[in-house]
Chains A and B, each alone.
Chain A
Amino acid sequence: MSVKKVHLKQSINKAGIIELVLAEYRIDPARFRQYLPNVAIALDLVFPVRQGSRNPYGLTFNERQHRQQALENIVQKVETNQIDRQDAIKALEHCAVLIEDDNLPYEIDRRLLIRLLGIILEKPISEITTETTVEILKDANHTIVSRISLIRGVRLNLTQNMNIVSILVIPQKIKERAKAMRFVPKTKLAQRTIRDHDNSSEDNHAAS
């Protein structure tokens, strides 16, 4: 056995192999399916393809404006503490539509979403310690056709009309967010730019 092979054998554990297979499946599912159709079918069941937008072109200008305005009206109620549970549900439904359209205004930040969730769940999400599904539409006739991640660890299950059927809270995923944000600098300590040391071609244009 060559040195390279011995090294590879030592460095790749079972989890590493699974990760490699998954990466291939995600990068080029069509090619993966060609060579390993049965594995692809099994993976489809575990990692269902995300439901696409109902409209591949997104919302029209008027639809977007209507949703944003309606959301803003409810947000104003939050600021004056005049919001009830139904308003909060409606607000999250507007959010879901705007998220799917990738046009949720930046003013609708995580703190506000958590506040709306608290009103709906009738307790802060920090008090939920195990995976929990909260039913919103009790009627069994409502079919879930899409899922939107509102914040990491909180998923909205939605009908065709983007009404919330239920809210799934996964505390483990919520914790993942803090981990993912850990490398983002918060103190002056990390203010020195790393760009100075790179000879990269970035032109650092101001994006807007």
Chain B
Amino acid sequence: MPLPERILIDHSAFCAILSSDDVNHDLAVQVYERLIDREQEIWVASSTIIKVVNSLHREFGIQSLLDFKDSIDGVMNIIWLEGIIYRDALALAAKHAGNDVAIDDYITCIVAQRLQAYVFTFNSCLDKMGIPTLPR
């Protein structure tokens, strides 16, 4: 498959990159390194950023949060979620009522569709929803 041009990183991928004892850590770092080296267009949803910085702040303090911000500045694009994305995610959730999928994942799904992006994730439910994902 051709190299995807645009990638959306979800929370599970950040968790795997940031936690060196995560089962997917090595693979996540390899994939992330490649995204950086290939200069692919990297996107992150504002809701994901908030979750990541919240965890970093709570776990490692303000300096790690500032380091993280400095590290992604100019490397990743942030998509600031508008009301319409939440509305579409809720509609999708209602359509798939009964599935064990979190609203966050529906948001990722909607954002990925809007950006026409592959999602860098370790969350299998996105695959099941027909969203192209990395690692393949």
Contacts and interface: CB of A to CB of B under 8 A. Distances in A.
7 contacts: A57-B1, A149-B38, A190-B18, A197-B59, A200-B104, A202-B12, A203-B123
Interface size of A as a range: 35 or more
Contacts of A188: 20
Interface of B is mostly: helix
A162 B44 CA distance: 32
Interface of A is mostly: loop
A101 B30 CA distance: 17
Interface of B: 1-5, 11-12, 15-24, 27, 29-30, 32-33, 36-39, 41, 51-52, 55-56, 58-60, 64, 67-68, 70-72, 74-75, 77-79, 100-102, 104-105, 114-115, 122-125, 135-136
Nearest to B77: A23
Given A99-B3, A203-B124, A177 B79 contact: no
Contacts, number: 147
Given A151-B37, A195-B22, A190 B17 contact: no
Given A149-B37, A207-B27, A200 B102 contact: yes
Nearest to A186: B20
A7 interface: no
Interface of A: 23, 26-28, 50, 52-53, 55-58, 99-102, 106, 110, 148-152, 173, 176-177, 179-185, 188, 190-195, 197-198, 200-207
B11 A202 contact: yes
Nearest to A104: B34
A206 B25 CA distance: 10
The residue among A27, A188, A194 with the most chain B CB atoms within 10 A of its own CB is A194
Contacts of B64: 183
Nearest to B29: A184
Contact of B36 (A180, A192, A197, A202): A180
B21 A193 contact: yes
Contacts of B29: 184
A101 B21 contact: no
Nearest to A192: B59
Nearest to B11: A200
B77 A194 contact: no
Given A177-B37, A195-B15, A195-B19, 17 more contacts: A57-B1, A58-B1, A100-B3, A101-B1, A102-B1, A176-B75, A181-B33, A184-B17, A184-B18, A197-B59, A201-B123, A202-B12, A202-B122, A202-B123, A203-B125, A205-B124, A207-B135
